[in-house]
């Protein structure tokens, strides 16, 4: 069944795809500027800030214009307007306003002009707390900001929560190849970049080009021997415990080196079978946010995979802005999950014993 046929969220899916596609256009324009302006400005966080806010405003605009009217619009998004309302932020607010209005004019769909006040209030559309009842959009306007600044992978990640469950997710990955990036798939349309992943509950997962090609069904790889598996992890060493992921891979007998890329592009790549496993073990005390996993996790589960915490529990997106877990997140296909879970638990036990040998 294609996602369009019999999909109870077809209208929301179409709106979500349009929203992240428009936001991706703004982000790509900013990333090109950053890369052209050279090394000097790479240390400067302001371009990414402009793109973060701009992306969030455009997503909220498109959803409000395109998604079917429901009683109220609710969005849980990463950014808020607090910093922009402070003294000294005038120039950056000016830049965001200009960029957003330019993108809207270039697109041509909407005849809307945002004032500075309109920009600030549109950003604050994302202040919802989410929770177990009603519908809430969940947005990371740029996931993988460090990758964005480096000119590498990043994603615009948007999901819909309905009664506490993720029912739809879209991931725009403007720099991700349409062919395989791992070592499992061989790679076909190798040079073309810009992937749009989407999934709706019960309807499967798909990928299409961000420039608009027909969507193709995707599924996770069917590897059942861990020795043939490869795994994804964060590009940034500070975001994941590499000693632990290394031991898990060793226990499993994984031979291939880790594939390290930024952002939820990892979930997309896993969902189309570029690799077999995704491991994410943040340092102690880090609290995961729902927008960092909502869209990616449904893309993987609808592609036939499993996403759980390190104890094998499903992720619970109904608890507000944070995910209620402190152990880590793992994703793989159904065949490998039992051995992966065991390896994870053995590696954690080993690590704990090493930390307190008595
Ligand atoms: N210390 C620490 N530990 C774990 N995770 C952290 C940490 N700091 C940030 N973040 C979050 O990581 C998001 C970036 O995603 P990834 O970790 O998948 O990509 S990366 O390769 O590490 O860049 C990133 O998302 P964005 O803020 O949207 O870029 C953060 O939510
Ligand atoms: Mg993020
Ligand atoms: Mg972000
Ligand atoms: Mg951030």
**What pTM does this model have?**
0.95
Which positions are catalytic?
52, 145
Going from the first residue of the chain to its last (358 residues), give the mean pLDDT of each consecutive group of 10, the final group possibly shorter.
75 97 97 75 67 97 86 92 93 95 97 97 97 98 94 97 98 96 58 94 98 94 96 94 96 96 98 97 94 98 98 97 91 98 96 80
**Phi/psi at 97 (5° precision):** -60, -45
CB count, 10 Å around CB of 239?
17
For the record, the structure tokens of 54 come out as 């701009």
Give the integer Cα–Cα distance in Å for 232 and 33: 29
Q: Provide the ipTM.
A: 0.93
Domain boundary assignment for the chain: 10-218, 226-355
State the residue for tokens 């592609």. Answer: 303
Q: What are phi and psi of 199, to 5 degrees?
A: -155, 145
Which ligand does the CA of 77 lie closest to?
A: 3
Residue 24 is predicted with a pLDDT of 98
Top mutation candidate among 56, 245, 292 for ligand 1, by most atoms within 8 Å of CB: 292
The pLDDT, as a whole number, for residue 37 is: 78
Ligand 1 atom at minimal distance to the Cα of residue 266 = 18
The residue whose CA has the least distance to atom 23 of ligand 1 is 262
CA 145 to ligand 2 center in whole angstroms: 7
Cα gap 196→174, rounded to integer Å: 8
How is residue 302 written in tokens? Answer: 């609808």
Closest atom of ligand 1 to CA, residue 146: 23
Question: Hey, what CATH class is 226-355 in?
Answer: alpha beta
Mutate to test the pocket of ligand 1, among 31, 138, 143 (most ligand atoms within 8 A of CB): 143
Write down the number of H helices and E strands in the chain. Answer: 9, 12
Residue nearest to atom 16 of ligand 1 (CA): 263
Output the CA 303–ligand 4 centroid distance in Å. Answer: 27
Residue nearest ligand 1's atom 2 by CA: 239
The verdict on the CB of residue 238 being under 6 Å from ligand 1 is: yes
Q: How many residues does the chain have?
A: 358
| C-beta atoms surrounding 111 within 10 Å | 7
233 CB near ligand 1 (under 6 Å) = no
Q: How far apart are CA 314 and CA 166, in angstroms?
A: 12
Q: Count Cα atoms within 13 angstroms, Cβ side, for 304.
A: 15
Closest CA to 129 of 321, 322, 323, 325: 321
Pocket test for ligand 1, best of 139, 155, 232, 236 (most atoms within 8 A of CB): 236
Which CATH topology does 10-218 take? Fructose-1,6-Bisphosphatase; Chain A, domain 1 (3.30.540)
pLDDT for 42 equals 47
Residue 71: how many other CB atoms lie within 10 Å? 7
Which numbered ligand comes closest to the C-alpha of 280? 1
- The strand pair at 277-280 and 231-233 is best described as parallel
Q: Give the span between the Cα atoms of 288 and 291, in whole angstroms.
A: 9
Instruction: Give the long-range contacts of residues 184-190, CB within 8 A, separation 24 or more.
Output: 184/221, 184/223, 184/230, 184/273, 184/274, 184/275, 184/276, 185/221, 185/272, 185/273, 185/274
pLDDT of the residue at 184 = 56
Nearest CA to ligand 1 atom 10: 239
Give dist(CA 48, CA 254) in Å, integer: 36
How many CA atoms within 13 Å lie on the side-chain side of 178? 19
Residue 239, ligand 1, Cβ within 6 A? yes
Is the Cβ atom of 326 under 6 angstroms away from ligand 1? no
pLDDT at 123: 97
């Amino acid at each position: 069944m294609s996602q369009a046929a019999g999909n109870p969220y077809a209208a929301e899916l179409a709106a979500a795809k349009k929203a992240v596609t428009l936001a991706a256009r703004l982000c790509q324009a900013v990333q090109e500027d950053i890369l052209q302006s050279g090394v000097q400005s790479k240390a400067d966080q302001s371009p990414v800030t402009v793109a973060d806010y701009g992306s969030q405003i455009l997503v909220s605009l498109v959803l409000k214009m395109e998604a079917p009217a429901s009683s109220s619009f609710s969005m849980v998004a990463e950014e808020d307007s607090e910093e922009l309302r402070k003294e000294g932020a005038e120039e950056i607010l000016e830049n965001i306003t200009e960029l957003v209005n330019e993108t809207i004019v270039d697109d041509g769909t909407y005849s809307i002009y945002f004032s500075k006040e309109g920009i600030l209030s549109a950003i604050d559309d994302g202040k919802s707390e989410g929770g177990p009842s009603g519908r809430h959009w969940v947005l990371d306007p740029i996931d993988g900001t460090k990758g964005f600044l480096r000119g590498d992978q990043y994603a615009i990640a948007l999901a819909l929560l309905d009664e506490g469950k993720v029912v739809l997710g879209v991931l725009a990955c403007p720099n991700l190849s349409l062919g395989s990036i791992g070592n499992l798939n061989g790679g076909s349309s190798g040079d073309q970049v810009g992937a749009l992943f989407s999934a709706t509950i019960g309807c499967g997962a798909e990928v299409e080009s961000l420039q608009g090609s027909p969507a193709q069904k995707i599924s996770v790889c069917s590897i059942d021997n861990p020795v043939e598996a490869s795994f994804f992890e964060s590009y940034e060493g500070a975001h994941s415990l590499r000693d632990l992921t290394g031991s898990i891979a060793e226990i499993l007998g994984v031979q291939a080196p880790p594939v390290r890329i930024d952002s939820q592009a990892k979930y997309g790549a896993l969902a189309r079978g570029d690799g077999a496993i995704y491991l994410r073990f943040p340092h102690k005390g880090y609290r995961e946010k729902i927008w960092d996993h909502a869209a990616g996790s449904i893309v993987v589960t609808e592609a036939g995979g499993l996403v759980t915490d390190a104890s094998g529990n499903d992720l619970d997106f109904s608890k507000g802005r944070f995910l209620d877990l402190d152990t880590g997140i793992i994703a793989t296909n159904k065949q490998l999950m039992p051995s992966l879970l065991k390896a994870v638990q053995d590696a954690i036990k080993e690590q704990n014993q090493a930390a307190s040998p008595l």
